[in-house]
Amino acid sequence: MNNNEKAIPTAELVMAPLGGVGEIGMNCTLYGHGLPDDYSWIMVDLGLTFASPREPGIEVILPDIRFAENQGKNLKAIILTHAHEDHYGAIPDLWESLNVPIYATAFTAAMLRAKLEREGIEDSVPIIEMEIGSAYEIGPFTVEVVQMAHSIPEPVGLAIKTQSGTLFHTGDWKLDPDPISGPPTDENRLKALGQEGVDVLVCDSTNATREGTSISEIDVAKTLKALVGQAKRRVVVTTFASNVARIKSIAEAAYAADRYVVLAGRALMRVVGIAKETGYIPEDYTFLSDEDFQHLPAKDCLVMATGSQGEGRAAIARIAEGSHPKIKLSKDDTVIFSSRTIPGNEKSVGYVINLLAAQDLNIITESQAPVHVTGHPRRGELEQLYNWLQPNTLIPVHGEELHLQSHKAFAKQQGIEHVALVRNGSMASVLPFEPQIIDEIPAGRLYRDGYFILEDDRAVRNRRKLSTVGCLSVSLVINNQGKIIGEPLWHEEGLPFDEEGAELDDLVTTAINSVFKSVPPKHRKELAKLKEALRRSVRGSIYDAWGKKALVNIHLHQV
């Protein structure tokens, strides 16, 4: 390139993930097009992550979208690939600060409206319904909506076409000849797109470590039908509430065995309502509420329950604990976990399963029978997609570090010319030239904590600390000569000393006295220093006795 050419700026396509890369959750990717530093943007997905036990008290975690907010009118739209929480769950909390139209297919839009209604903001958010197979002009982008298959109705891939070239964003997908809740991944359209030319593929990495291809949703339906058919007494099936195909298969298995279907859990009732409205579950499929449970003979009953991830307040956990107000199980009933345990939830799921097992119920999980199938592509399916689209560049997303690296290695082995990792908070120019990181932008996590959205995790870190070492507050009064007046008062939470407090009383008194002995009155003028000396001393004596460092607060008052 000579200097003359260098002087002419070229329009480019840039990509800036704000979440979803290096993690499974919180998907949010910005695509920009224009001259350097003058881009028009679209946002693909705006999802959340559920908090782990490492974030005590936090309901959900949201992406930090400051960078998108700062683009003002240059941000044109949010486009949703499907209605899973990790792709659309942050909209109620974050949409207002962006204030742009949301493009979604009919089912995703219906799920979104139901979500917004629960927050009372359904009228303020403009939703534009997209047709699968159609293309939309949004700023400098033409976005074509392509049918994929996944574990929810209407998962879509987006062919994002610009003057600089075409990028295909897969969303979550798999190949499945019969996904039940809609047509399979649109192989013909993908092949045609490949022929028209796809330059960059941004692709789901969730199962990139796994060889082969997955079984079909229809195989799961057959297994469920056989298991329900064989059962002599009640059957309870728990699954992901948004998995409409599975709900339909479970209901059909029940009807085939002359059983009534009882829905337990609000999320399931909501999804069934929306699936009927949008035509994914036939209108004449009948579902009873848990009120009807007590009238049903054991052999005529199938309960579909929420809580496949061991969520404490969901139906299956309450049934297992015997605290569900309507549903009680008894010996030789069958419980099927038609789900996979998401990494991190093993303990909660194990807890529920063991409670059920202790009641002499037949428990069937994915490890005993094919009662679940993944919604994400294994290597065999990735290879197919590469062959259809023939991209020059692959950018792995939707995966933890291991999945991204595995996807990268596999794509290279498959002969894809460029494989680039673009992590949360990086901005990469991806077209018309080879992908290259060009900037770092603010990105990170926001914590929804009650009515607050916290921008840092200071409170969460403190809570984590409190949960392991407890807290001791000591209050004492000194006069203007620096002498203690009265007795120090203290209050503890979570310390393992005797209940009456004699032991702690001794520790605190000795620690305070030793400070006053060693600091002469004239040096007690600087209250901050004195306070710190007291804190260290009290903490030290607790450590000597207990072997752990408690959180210690000193309240020092001078009169």
From the CB of 239, what's the least distance to Zn ion, in Å? 14
Q: Is the CB of 150 or the CB of 524 nearer to Zn ion?
A: 150
Which residues lie below 8 Å from residue 486, measured CB to CB, with a gap of 6+? 477
Q: Is the CB of 200 or the CB of 397 nearer to Zn ion?
A: 397
Q: Which of residues 141-160 bind Zn ion (CB under 5 A)?
A: none
Of 167-175, 315-323, 351-359, 468-476: span binding Zn ion (CB under 5 A): 167-175
Outline where 20-90 has alpha helix (H).
66-69, 85-88
Burial class (CB in 10 A: 0-12, 13-18, 19+), 438: middle
Give CA–CA dist 528/513, Å, rounded.
Answer: 17
From the CB of 28, what's the least distance to Zn ion, in Å? 11
Give CA–CA dist 224/372, Å, rounded.
Answer: 9
Q: Is the CB of 341 or the CB of 537 nearer to Zn ion?
A: 341
Residue 264 has a CB neighbour count (10 Å cut-off) of 24
Residue type, 400: E
Outline where 181-293 has alpha helix (H).
187-196, 217-230, 244-256, 266-277
From the CB of 147, what's the least distance to Zn ion, in Å? 15
Q: Which of residues 66-95 bind Zn ion (CB under 5 A)?
A: 84, 86
108: left (phi over 0), alpha (psi -120 to 50) or beta: alpha
Binding-site size for Zn ion (CB under 5 A) equals 3
Tokens encoding 210: 């796994």
Backbone angles phi, psi at 290, to 5 degrees: -65, -15
Considering only 12, 172, 290, 492, the residue that binds Zn ion (CB under 5 A) is: 172
The angle subtended at Cα 366 by Cα 152 and Cα 371, nearest 5°, is 55
Q: Is the CB of 19 or the CB of 92 nearer to Zn ion?
A: 19
From the CB of 183, what's the least distance to Zn ion, in Å? 17
Which residues lie below 8 Å from residue 535, measured CB to CB, with a gap of 6+? 552, 553, 554
Of 171-179, 285-293, 420-428, 477-485: span binding Zn ion (CB under 5 A): 171-179
Of 165-173, 272-280, 362-370, 490-498: span binding Zn ion (CB under 5 A): 165-173
Contact flags string 336-375 toward Zn ion, x per CB under 5 A: ----------------------------------------
Give CA–CA dist 98/68, Å, rounded.
Answer: 7
Give CA–CA dist 49/89, Å, rounded.
Answer: 8
From the CB of 151, what's the least distance to Zn ion, in Å? 6
Q: Is the CB of 153 or the CB of 488 nearer to Zn ion?
A: 153
Q: Is the CB of 103 or the CB of 490 nearer to Zn ion?
A: 103
From the CB of 46, what's the least distance to Zn ion, in Å? 12
Q: Is the CB of 28 or the CB of 94 nearer to Zn ion?
A: 28
From the CB of 112, what's the least distance to Zn ion, in Å? 14
From the CB of 294, what's the least distance to Zn ion, in Å? 36
From the CB of 360, what's the least distance to Zn ion, in Å? 36
Of 170-178, 250-258, 377-385, 506-514: span binding Zn ion (CB under 5 A): 170-178
176 binds Zn ion (CB under 5 A): no
Burial class (CB in 10 A: 0-12, 13-18, 19+), 232: exposed
From the CB of 297, what's the least distance to Zn ion, in Å? 38
Of 168-176, 258-266, 346-354, 426-434: span binding Zn ion (CB under 5 A): 168-176
Sheet holding 301-305, edge to edge: 288-289, 260-264, 301-305, 235-238, 334-337, 362-364
Q: Is the CB of 174 or the CB of 189 nearer to Zn ion?
A: 174
Q: Is the CB of 168 or the CB of 497 nearer to Zn ion?
A: 168
Q: Which of 108, 87, 99 is nearest to 28 (CA)?
A: 87
Burial class (CB in 10 A: 0-12, 13-18, 19+), 85: middle
Q: Is the CB of 281 or the CB of 397 nearer to Zn ion?
A: 397
Question: Which residues of this protein are in contact with Zn ion, per CB under 5 A?
Answer: 84, 86, 172
